Amino acid sequence: MFKISYKLFLFVGILVTLVNCANRGTPSGGEKDTQPPQIVRSLPENYTTNFKGNEIKIYFDEYIKIKNVQKQLIISPPMDPQPDVMPLGSASKYISIKINDTLQVNTTYAFNFGQSIVDNNEENPYSYYKYVFSTGSYIDSLSVKGIILDAEKREPEKFVTVMLYEVDSTYSDSTIFKKQPKYVTNTLDSVSTFSIDNIKAGKYRIVALKDENSNYTYQQKSDKIGFYDREITVPSDDFYELKLFKEIPDFSSERPLQVAKQKIEFGFRGDYKNTTIEMMGDKPEGFEYRILKDVQKDTLYYWYKPKVEMDTTYFVVKNKTYTDTLKHRFRDLKIDSLNIKPSAGNAVSFDSDFAIEANVPLERLDESKVTIIDKDSVNITFTTEFDTLQNRFRFKFNKTEANVYKIRLLPEAVTDFFGKVNDTLRYELKTKKFSELSDVRVSLIDAVYPVIVQLTDDKGNVKYEQYAEEPRPFDFRHINPGNYFLRVVYDANGNRKWDTGSYLKKIQPERVSYYSEPVEARTGWDTVYTFTLLKIDPDPIEN
């Protein structure tokens, strides 16, 4: 009996083993982990006072990683040099912060980790963890709150740095160019509001930066800035609105470069419109020059004739208070041949002009060698206008719907700076039927004139605009169907364009208001939009 039971037992055991082996596969693993890591303890404890050490350790209940710490971790006040934060690129059950800076006395420090702490497996974030300590006997607990807007765009920038500078005997308006702030925070990538916490009572200046170099100092060439141009007093219940804008940098010119025969390039930054460029040295009789700006780049081209017999010369570049003398060595290069092209495609709108432009300065247009005829071979009367800044000849004539216009320029109709002329040029333009287009009327309520009313695309590029110095309806007739964004510019100085601000001059950018919803221009439809604008606060610093 024992032998039979043993054999049976052995047989069943082998059978179970085989079944288990046959069913072996990838386990389901259970439900996905969605829980963030938890802090077990900190050394020293969070919100420690009389802090004297140089290292902090924060322990978790599972392995964690730190992601994108350069953008996510905000230390206030900033430390220089930066602390060493571990782990980077690996997993650990604790975060180590080794402080390399000499800490200020009686100061509260805050480490805000944003969304950088995640667990090792599913990367569930431990959101907005903040470690705080004080080198004094208490934790500062006051706050400054507000919101970041973009002065020109619909959406605010992400990762905007907001800074407080303590107003003391060392503070001046130039401090933001040279020194780091007393306190700092960041809007990160999800919200445009901010809160600078754990600060002490006092008087401050508040500044926002799109800090491209992440160095907590203002770099005019690269950074956007927003500011409140009065001191603020803490504690306060005020909610501060800061509008980011890009300043026009102070003018400066780069060293000239010969890019073609009798064509020299000057890179620049700033406002170029008052720039003069003078070539020094002996110049041949009848010497002439032209200065043109590149359509896309911050570059001025200096064209001259005839050729000069010099190996090296100097140029004096002036712009308002700016003066610089730049050395130039001539190179023997080929001359640019004349290339004329239309400024747009063959579809023309009813409120725009046909134009031609060239890569060489244009001098003359002989209208007697230009003809414009429509689809019925009727000659169209036109006038021309020369845009010296853009080096364009514009052709102005009345257009009708569903028409075709053929434009012909005979040889020698156009003459360039060097006396070169065109061969025969032919262009064809088409207009659409009114039924294929759309009409949009905009009515403004509580506007302060003059204003510029614009329809833009989703990137902020202006597609249509109108200007008014007094109340009236704004009729955008025969425009291409599609969705637009309605923008109103308060043209405070009446120069028919939006003007940015200046930090040192304490000038805020001109106010811009966006309609809350897209404007839908539907084919064959007339639509009306009423835009009620917020009344302007009489306090000029509120812009």
The model's pLDDT over 63-72, given as tens digits with 9 standing for 90+, comes to 999 988 888 8
> CB atoms < 10 A from the CB of 424, how many?
11
The rounded distance, in Å, linking the Cα atoms of 215 and 115 is: 21
The topology (CATH level 3) of 340-431 is Immunoglobulin-like (2.60.40)
pTM: 0.81
The model's pLDDT over 398-426, given as tens digits with 9 standing for 90+, comes to 999 999 999 999 999 999 999 999 999 99
CATH number given to 437-542: 2.60.40.10
Across residues 327-353, what is the average pLDDT? Answer: 89
Position 388 pLDDT exceeds 90: no
The pLDDT, as a whole number, for residue 41 is 95
Written in H, E and C, the secondary structure of 351-396 is CCCEEEEECCCEEEECHHHEEEECCCCCECCCEEEEECCCCEEEEE
The model's pLDDT over 363-380, given as tens digits with 9 standing for 90+, comes to 999 999 999 999 999 999
Assign 35 a pLDDT band (cuts: 50, 70, 90): confident
The rounded distance, in Å, linking the Cα atoms of 387 and 396 is: 13
Assign 475 a pLDDT band (cuts: 50, 70, 90): very high
**CB burial class (10 A; 0-12, 13-18, 19+) of residue 462?**
middle
The model's pLDDT over 193-236, given as tens digits with 9 standing for 90+, comes to 999 999 999 999 999 999 998 889 999 989 999 999 899 999 99
The pLDDT, as a whole number, for residue 25 is 43
CATH number given to 142-244: 2.60.40.1120
The topology (CATH level 3) of 39-134 is Immunoglobulin-like (2.60.40)
Assign 330 a pLDDT band (cuts: 50, 70, 90): very high
Contact 258, 326 (CB under 8 A): no
